[in-house]
Structures are given as C-alpha cells and as structure tokens.
Amino acid sequence: MSHGLASHRTSSSVGPTTTTTSTAPAVVFERVTVDYGDGPVLVDFDLEVAAGEWVGLLGPNGAGKSTALGVVSGLVTHEGSTRIGDADPGRWRPRQWASAVALVPQRPIIPPGLTVTDYVLLGRTAHIPTFGIETTTDLDAVAAAMERLDLHDFTDRPVLALSGGELQRVVLARALVQEASILLLDEPTSALDIGHGQHVLELIDALRIERGLTVLSAMHDLTLASQFADRVVLLDQGRTVATGAPRDVLTQQRLARHYDADVQILDDGEGGIIVVPVRRDRPTRAGSSTRPTTTDRSTR
Amino acid sequence: MSVHQVPNEASGPTPASTSRSAGRGRPRPVVTPSRLPTAGLVVGGVLLVLMALAGVLLGAADLSPTAVLVELADRIPGVQVDSGLDEVARNILWELRLPRVVLGALVGACLATSGAAYQGVFRNPLADPWLLGAAAGAGLAATAVVASGGSGALAGIGVPAAAFVGALGGVAMAWFVGRSTGGRGTAALILGGVAVSAFLTAGQTWLLQRNAETIREVYGWILGRLSTSGWSDVGMLAIPTVLSLSVILFHRRILDVLSVGEAEAATLGVDAVRSRVVVVVAASLATAGAVAASGLIGFVGIVVPHTVRLMFGGSYRAVLPLSMLFGAAFMVGTDLVARTVVAPAELPIGVITAFVGAPFFAFVLRRGRGSVGA
C-alpha cells in the first residue's frame, strides 16, 4: 500500500501498535503559510485533527479553506510543517500521498470517454504499478465501493451522463477505493439540492464510522457543517478566527463580523445548531398587518 | 466487448467487502473496466490486411493479381510455388509496392497514435500533430537541412533528427502561445498551434524560395507523399516508430488518469508533469518520423482516433492501440486512392486526408461544443 505510511507505522509499532496509531493525530498543521504570489492566502495555520475525527473548515469565500485542503493533499507548496500520521510528507511521491489522503474535489473534471467503472478504478492508481494493470483485488475494491454507494445500475454508464447527486457518489466511490485513511471534502454539497446534500453527508459519516476515516471538509453550509463535524475551524482571509465545537464557534457576532451576514442561530434540540439567514432590507417588523389575512384564508 | 469478467462473489469475504451490504439485498455489481476490445482488434486487423493486399495487388503497372498472390505465397516458409512473374514484375512488387505499403502503415500508425496521445495529454479533442505545429516544425527543420545541402552526408540522420527537434519545438511553441493567452480551453491551444504552424510554414517557404534547386524535391514532400525509395525509408522509420509507440502504449492507463486533469491526477498518485512530458516527447518523435518519411499529412491524428472512440469507447486503453491499427489501415488505403484515382499520375496523400479530415474536424468541433472554446 503506502510506502511512507506503512513503513513508518511498522517501524514504530514494535510496542503497543494500537495505542500509538489511535492516539497520534491523523493530520497536523504547524504554522502553515501559503502565498501564491499575491499575498498570503493561509497564515500561520495550526491544527491537529485526531484520527477518526471530522473537522469542518468554515469561512467566507477566499478564507483559505480549499488551500488548507490543498496542503493536506500535497498539491500546494507551503511554509511551516505538516504531518500525516507519524510521517513527514515533505518528500512523498504522488503515489504515497494518494494512498494516505483521498480528495473529493469541489468541481471534479469529468473525462468524456470513461464509464463509471473506469472512473472509480482511477482511484486505485496508487495501488497499481505504473505500467501495470489492475488485479482482481482492485476490481473487488471497485465493486465493493459501488455496492456500498448504491451504484449498481451505473457500472457501464458514461460519467458524462450522470446527474449532480449521482456524480457526487461516484466521485466518493473513487475516493473510497484509494483506501486512504484521510478523506478530504471540498464543498461536498455545493452542487446538490438539500436532500441530496443531506444524503451524501450521512453517507460520508457512516463510512467514516465504518472505516475509521478522518474527515476534513471545507463547507459553506453552516448548519450542515455543525450537524456533521465534531469540530469546526472558522477562517477569514487566511487567518484562524476560532476553533472548537460548532455551537461555540458559530456565534451571531462572529458570523456578522466575518461573513457580513445577519443570521439567527437556533438550537436543533439535539445539541446541534441551525443557522438561518435573516433578511435585512425588510421594511419593518410590521409584517403582522398581513398575517391575519393569510390565516383567514387558510382557515376558511 | 467484455474481455474480462469478474466473478461475482458477493459472499466471498474480500477485505474490502466488510462494509455492510447496503441493506438492499442486491448482489455486488460486476465491474468490467474498458480494455482493448477483441472486436476492435479483429476489425482493425482484417481492415489492415485487406488494405495491404489491395495495396500490393493494385498499381500503375499491370501485374496479374493471381500471380502476385502466388508470388506472395511463395515467400511463406515451406511453400514453393512459381508465380510466373518476370524479374521486372518481381521488382515492382518487392521493391516498390510492398515497401510502400509497409511505409504507409508505419506513417499512419505514427500519425494516428500521436494524435490520440496529444489529445490525451492536452485533454483536447482537436489536438493533432498537424494542427499543433509539430508537423510544421518538423517540416521547417527538415527543409533547412535539405536546403543547407546536408542531404548528402547527413541524409540518414540529419533530416529525421532535425525533424524531431523541429516537432518538439513546434509543439512547445504552440503550448506557450496557447498558455500565454490565459485561455485554459481547448481553443487556445489549437489557435496557438495554427499561429505557430503559419509562422513555421512561412519560414519554410522563405527557405525554399532562396534555394530554388531544392524546391521541387521539397514541394512534393510538403503535400505529403509516400516515397518509393524502397526499404531504406522503412528501415529508417521503423526504429523511432517502435520506440515512440511503445512508450505511448505503455502510458495508456496513465492517459486515462490524466483525463481528470493534472491536479486530480496528482491526488490519485500520478506524477502528472513527468508523464505528460514523456508522452509529448514520444508523440513528437513519432510525428517527426512520419514527417521525415512522408511529408506533411494532416488530419490523420483526428480522423482515426475519433472514429475509434465512436466505435469502441473513449478509454485510452482502447483508443491508443486501436488508433495504431486503424491508422495503419487508413494510411495504406489513402495511399491506394492517391495513386489509383488519377493513374498513372498520383495525388498527394495530404490532399486526400484533408478532403476527408477537414469535414471530420468540423464534425468533432460540433460534437464537442460543450467542451471546446471557453
């Protein structure tokens, strides 16, 4: 599987293997700064994500959420240090990255000529020798992922012909067959309607529990983020504003300040919160004059 | 179509199947990835054999088809028959027609496969050795060598080597011109290639005007023709063809990974930059070999791969090997048309491929409306 991770783990696992792997954080950022040339987009970013944890990265557009995911997937050069499991990924080859970290991109590029099976099989790339061919192990993994994600009817369908919700499950299947322990999600629900979005997140959470995955997601939907993430990190212009449990981080004041949003935050009754935008330019609160008419009509 | 069947063992406890079985009681799906379809190999192989047979049977000289077939059979080990062909006729068959058929097959395989490879690397359905400036670059460099008198001493190595450098230079220039527009779409690269081609072709014309004595030699070559200089051209082209096409074919699965773009390919475990460079160099070597042997023959790299895609699907695991086969058959067939349709004169092959290819290009352009442009 992975050369880096596996060798690190075996070398350090002479003693109590289970305790070291379960307590060691899955991802660590230490003073990570990213600058593409037009000023920093991520500044002194510190974060430890525990194995099996779901951490949501929140913040307005341009806050640095996707950049942070890019750092963990090995796509973005940065200052500061990162650790993945016990390993320093600084010199990892793409193959090692791919067997440790799987990314579900926000807008995946759809290849015109491939079927769903071909596309999901791309996730096995790191497990297949460069000029080799897939084995039955790879095909079994593909079949199992497609079974798990209810993609029975899509095996030979062109990827190009899928709907948004179907595509999201297919991309997720591709990430699953990488058999990486860290799953990165960049706006997993932004292309989906409310029902499909919910379904995908439930699916991800179920998979996280089944397979002990560590999930790091960048999300715009604060309500969904607070319902699914164990912890959230609020970013603004590359800097960390607050880290913690969703209900502690997402306050009315912070959302007003960093999103320039007027919201009401409600309790969902199960420890979660619901973030509701409030319309600002409504004349007054004196909409009450119209209300009786509405009620009258409905009772008639 | 399905070459490989996965045994559907939903009960088999594979490591990946420990997940709960979706609760719907449906058996695990049978997955069959796109691979090289046997049907494609058979159709392409039969087509190539038919074209090759037609290529040796038909021609300006009036050789009896039966006698030719008998003569060919005579060469099969263990078979001894007398065809009754005289020395001249035998020479026409063995030293003119047959090498020409083989050369055509090699050139067609090179142009079609490198076209498909460029399309994969640049994720651009319109990429073609000719439109990318590769052919024009090879043409200019080769003309420069011929015009400078290098055709004598350097004839063996000079022209093909120069063509290779020129092809790489042409593609690199098209790539940079396309990139510099800031356009990420497919059109920018092709427009860059057109500009570069025009520039390089102008340079070639200028060279020709200054070297009037070579103009006739090179002019025939610009329009594309399969030379009739016997087996030496075949020998010269064979090595770069085998080398570059093997490299490209080895990358067929990688090209499928690259079809999701450089960044995603990297997260899937492919060194995208290195793979792209290797494939571009190999495709340019194939193009240079073809151009050095046969001049500028356009559109083969578009017509053949897209026809293969329509017939056998878009995975490069099918497209690359089948483009090689169908490209060889296509070129042998085109050459046959070129030398029979106005016999005893010959049409330049490039004229015929353009007649077929330009409308086909328009067809691809229309089909890809969603992805081309922007």
Q: Does A294 reach chain B within 8 Å, measured CB to CB? A: no
Question: Nearest Cα to A201, choosing from A179, A178, A220?
Answer: A220
Q: Does A97 reach chain B within 8 Å, measured CB to CB? A: yes
Kindly give, in sequence order, each residue whose CB lies less than 8 Å from that of residue B195, ignoring residues fewer than 6 positions away. B174, B177
Q: CA triplet A206, A154, A121: central angle to 5 degrees?
A: 75
Is residue B22 pLDDT above 50, yes or no? no
CB B208 within 8 A of CB B218: yes
A75, A95, A178 member nearest B263 (Cβ) = A75
Query: Residue A79 corresponds to which amino acid?
Result: E
Query: Mean per-residue pLDDT for B8-33?
Result: 56
Better-scored residue on pLDDT, B156 or B208: B208
Question: In this structure, which topology does domain A3-244 adopt according to CATH?
Answer: Rossmann fold (3.40.50)
Which residues on chain A are in Cβ contact (under 8 Å) with B276? none
Q: Does A142 reach chain B within 8 Å, measured CB to CB? A: yes
> Left if phi > 0, otherwise alpha if psi is -120 to 50, otherwise beta: which for A64?
left
CA distance B63 to B69: 10
A122, A126, A144 member nearest B14 (Cβ) = A144
pLDDT in tens, B265-314: 999 999 988 998 899 889 988 988 888 888 878 889 999 999 999 999 99
B32, B253, B254 member nearest A117 (Cβ) = B32
Is residue B330 pLDDT above 80, yes or no? yes
Tell me, what's the pLDDT at B123? Answer: 87
Query: Residue B217 corresponds to which amino acid?
Result: E
Candidate from B86-95, B263-272, B319-328 with smallest mean pLDDT = B86-95
Is residue B317 pLDDT above 90, yes or no? yes
Kindly give, in sequence order, each residue whose CB lies less than 8 Å from that of residue A163, ignoring residues fewer than 6 positions away. none
Tell me, what's the pLDDT at B215? Answer: 67
| Average predicted confidence (pLDDT) for chain B | 82
Which residues on chain A are in Cβ contact (under 8 Å) with B250? 131
Tell me, what's the pLDDT at B23? Answer: 46
> E strand or H helix at A9, and its extent?
helix A3-12
CB A99 within 8 A of CB A5: yes
CA distance A275 to A267: 9
Residue given tokens 């030979």 in the structure block: A156
CA distance B368 to B370: 5
Please indicate whether, in this complex, the C-beta atoms of A74 and B21 are within 8 angstroms of each other. no
Please indicate whether, in this complex, the C-beta atoms of A144 and B264 are within 8 angstroms of each other. no
> Tokens at residue B278, please?
């290797």
Please indicate whether, in this complex, the C-beta atoms of A130 and B254 are within 8 angstroms of each other. yes
pLDDT band of A298, cuts 50, 70, 90: very low
pTM (2 d.p.): 0.83
Question: Nearest Cα to B144, choosing from B201, B196, B227, B220?
Answer: B201
pLDDT in tens, A176-220: 999 999 999 999 988 888 888 888 899 999 999 999 999 999 999
Nearest CA to CA, how far is A299 from chain B (Å)?
Answer: 43
Most confident by average pLDDT, A13-22, A95-104, B52-61, B175-184 = A95-104
Tell me, what's the pLDDT at A99? Answer: 93
CA distance A29 to A94: 19
SS3 of A175, please? Answer: helix
Find, in chain A, the residue whose alpha carbon is nearest to that of B272. Answer: A94
Is residue A9 pLDDT above 70, yes or no? no
Give whole-number Cα distances, A152 to A144, B14, B23, B28, in Å.
10, 18, 13, 7
A with B: how many residue pairs have Cβ under 8 Å apart? 142
Question: Nearest Cα to B248, choosing from B303, B312, B319?
Answer: B319
pLDDT in tens, A235-248: 999 999 999 999 99
Q: Does A208 reach chain B within 8 Å, measured CB to CB? A: no
Question: Nearest Cα to B110, choosing from B138, B89, B147?
Answer: B138
Q: Which residues of B touch A (CB under 8 A)?
A: 6, 10, 14, 16-17, 19-22, 24, 26, 28-34, 125, 250-251, 253-254, 256-257, 259-261, 263-264, 266-272, 309, 313-316, 319, 368, 371
Tell me, what's the pLDDT at B80? Answer: 84
Domains of chain B, first to last: 35-55+83-367 (1.10.3470.10)
Give whole-number Cα distances, B365 to B94, B193, B302, B359, in Å.
42, 16, 11, 10
Q: Where are the alpha helices (DSSP H) in chain B?
A: 38-57, 65-74, 87-91, 98-121, 134-145, 158-180, 186-210, 215-222, 231-250, 252-258, 262-267, 272-294, 300-312, 316-340, 349-367
Tell me, what's the pLDDT at A222? Answer: 93
B21, B33, B253 member nearest A117 (Cβ) = B33
Is residue B261 pLDDT above 60, yes or no? yes
Tell me, what's the pLDDT at B52? Answer: 95
Which residues on chain B are in Cβ contact (under 8 Å) with A144? 14, 16-17, 19, 28
Candidate from A270-279, B20-29, B202-211 with smallest mean pLDDT = B20-29
Tell me, what's the pLDDT at A129? Answer: 92
B16, B251, B256 member nearest A114 (Cβ) = B256
pLDDT band of A299, cuts 50, 70, 90: very low
Virtual CA dihedral for A268, A270, A273, A274, nearest 10 degrees?
-30
Q: What is the residue extent of each domain of chain A? A: 3-244
Query: Mean per-residue pLDDT for B225-231?
Result: 70
CA of residue A234 relative to chain centroid, distance = 15
